[in-house]
Structure 1
Amino acid sequence: MATFQLELVSPEKLLLSRAVEMVVIPAAEGEMGVLPGHAPMIVTLRGGTIRVMEGGKDAERLFVAGGFAEVTPERVTILADEATPLAELSKVEADRRVVEAEAAYAAASNDTPEKRDAAMANLLAMRVMRDVAEAA
């Protein structure tokens, strides 16, 4: 099967760089599958799971807290705010981060709409992190 280059970069390091058959990303508009030859675009990511497909099945799954993806016919570059393999997620840590995000959202109630939206996006991402940590 045809492949394309996938690169996943977090602020700390390059997490993934290899040829893959398909990737499913949590775009802000919904789950988005990318195959070789996809139309070029740049999309915003929401908190969710990236699924790397090889051999017709999930080869790797990673949680991302948000970011951007640049899609070209030959490459997908994901610039993630935070990325963690699902196997490394901790339910206890995810619960703690949900509590922090809830407090930050409550504290942003009198801030600008942009700051409230950012706090809500973080809260939603942390809730997804908790959900996938429980399922892992």
Structure 2
Amino acid sequence: MPYQDVFVLFWEQVKESVQEGRFAKLTMAKTIGKPDLRNIFVRPVASEDGFKVLVKLRYRSKETEDVENELTLEEAFVVLESHLKKPFLSVLLFSTTKDLTFKINKKGAGSITENLPTFHEVIQAQNDEE
């Protein structure tokens, strides 16, 4: 199955974990080559106007400052989707009941694997800009 279709299925699991209060963290990793963007982290953040996540872009070079944005889940989806395959080949969802790994193989096919949970409680991220 093309990775875009599998990512949509993966994202449904992300939304479900949010709705059930199990979403702990999401990480984009495993890049092609050594791009300046090293990781993208998504964590729940306390917000007065609905569920929000703190999306942090972590860069390899010390000259480039990390970027943090407080976004809705839909906005975060757009950011993450734009970085799939170029440069990131995997996305890890950490929830309190299971960890899910989305991967793209060399042929452009996506897959989802399930593992035991790494996190046992949800910890809110702190927005450094406050």
**When the two structures are superposed, what TM-score results if normalisation uses the length of structure 1?**
0.32
Structure number with bigger Rg: 1
Greater RCO (CA < 8 Å, at least 6 residues apart): 2
Structure with the bigger percentage of helix? 1
**When the two structures are superposed, what TM-score results if normalisation uses the length of structure 2?**
0.33
